[in-house]
Amino acid sequence: MDTVHLSLSSLCFVTLVAVVFHFREPLLEKLRERQKVDYYKLSGVPAPNPLPDFDVDKAKARPYRPFRWSYHQTMSLKKMEPDYWLELESTYRERVAQRKALYEKHGEKIINALPGSELACRELMEMVIQFLCVRYPKQFQFDGRTLYNRILDTQSDVDKADPLVILNDNVPEDFLLTLPDPKTGLYTMVAGVCCSSMGWNVATKIGKPLKDIHTVVPDYKEKMEFSMDRRMPADKPIQRGSWGLEIGQPLWMQDGDPHFALRATQDPNLKIEDIYLRVDWQTLRRLPRSRSIVFNFKALFTSFSNFRNEPYVPHLVLKVLREGKKNLMEYKGTWHIEHKAIPALENWCKEQEEKGWVPKNWEVRTLDEDPYFPGWKETM
């Protein structure tokens, strides 16, 4: 009886092992295939240049100043620079910690995905991992299953964790994924990870077509709707920047947040050093496999006082604040800082003219260096 029992047990064990290996081999093969996917070749977008000596604690974001004149509502699109799809800089640790805390507290308002978006989410994660490992080889490594983050000393198992959570835990960047609605053909937001939204969140936008998401944007339908719903090839990603002037550095603000009340008054005690430029530097690209169009952006804050030493920038900003189209400026919400910002800009304009940085009576226009300013590389 014992012999029969042992034989049956052995048979069961052998069968179990065979079943495990039967299913394990295809999984291993999928892992091997995933490691072989070259998204640069697949998309036609070149790989970034590696930064073998990169030091995140000393790294500075490029000084984006997307100010234009004449100032009107357009996408102001430029060809994306492959090296800067994702850009790490000295606020990295702080921002990732903020993002993790926001997700823990707010859940689906930060990360959410609809059924049918799984392939796009995973593809995006794989592309991000591939970019990080090429661009920052000492900071990130990937063995086909585990992403090693040497900055934070963390590991992420890509077969167990939600792809969007992995992104949130490793990249201080927001991602919104869209796919065409089967019924209407309009691009609809199907997934997102977003920690730097102002007055909205992923839960309020998911499932909506782009035209409904952008109803509050001035002139969107007339100037931007067609370009946003157009067909975009995978090998032609684009970039742009949006900006605002804020008191402090608010990253994620929702309706009812006390910080919004600051926009309703001009505080006579406001200090120039408390005003910050917020730039949301954005890219738009199509994923080559899922065909999802992904919008990603990162909030960067710079002290308003920096403009004093940036040629032409005070002239441009002053012109926009004084003469910008009313509905656009109301949407930007700059009124609450203008009583302090405008006099400061006037003084800095005079200083720069006296120093010979800007010709007197210069006719304000969008700079040739847009979205930067002359001499910006020396500030890095």
Q: How far is it, in rounded angstroms, from Cα 338 to Cα 341?
A: 5
Q: How far is it, in rounded angstroms, from Cα 19 to Cα 308?
A: 70
Residue 142: inside a domain: yes
Q: Which residues contact 82 (CB under 8 A, 6 or more apart)?
A: 45, 46, 47, 48
Residue 23: inside a domain: no
pLDDT 10s digits, 52-105: 999 999 999 999 999 999 865 455 689 999 999 999 999 999 999 999 999 999
Residue 32: inside a domain: no
Range of the domain at 240: 39-379
pLDDT 10s digits, 167-178: 999 999 999 999
Residue 278: inside a domain: yes
Cis peptide before 10 (omega within 30 of 0): no
pLDDT bin (cut points 50, 70, 90) of residue 36 is confident
Q: How far is it, in rounded angstroms, from Cα 170 to Cα 184?
A: 35
Looking at the structure of the chain, the number of domains it has is 1
- pTM for this entry: 0.86
pLDDT bin (cut points 50, 70, 90) of residue 342 is very high
pLDDT bin (cut points 50, 70, 90) of residue 32 is very low
What average pLDDT does this structure show over 369-374? Answer: 96
Q: How far is it, in rounded angstroms, from Cα 169 to Cα 192?
A: 14
Orientation of helix 313-323 relative to helix 335-354, angle to 10°: 140
H-helix or E-strand containing 279?
Answer: strand 275-286
Of all residues in the chain, what percent carry a pLDDT higher than 90? Answer: 76
Residue 272: inside a domain: yes
Contact 314, 374 (CB under 8 A): no
Residue 129: inside a domain: yes
Q: How far is it, in rounded angstroms, from Cα 264 to Cα 241?
A: 25
- DSSP 3-state assignment of 15? helix
